Amino acid sequence: MKKSYEMEVDCANCARKIQEAITKDPRVKFCSVNFISQKMTLEADDSDFDEVLKMAVDCVHKVDPDCEVMI
């Protein structure tokens, strides 16, 4: 499953750090955090997707506590 989410990320460096943190999880097939479009695209197996999404949101908040992901 592949889904995109709007988010509010403060800078390109934060977007890169968030993307790197999320892609370290072996369940993640693809992740892109785009500062310009303010979107995160996440791909994982259907069976793991809810857990991967929760992990991704946790990563976002660890890197940038003020960043919001619109789920």
pLDDT of residue 35: 96
Decide if domain 2-70 falls under CATH 3.30.450.90: no
The model's pTM is 0.93
Q: What is the DSSP string of 4-71?
A: EEEEE-S-HHHHHHHHHHHHTSTTEEEEEEETTTTEEEEEE-TTTHHHHHHHHHHHHHHH-TT-EEE-
pLDDT of residue 28: 98
pLDDT of residue 3: 98
pLDDT of residue 19: 98
pLDDT of residue 59: 96
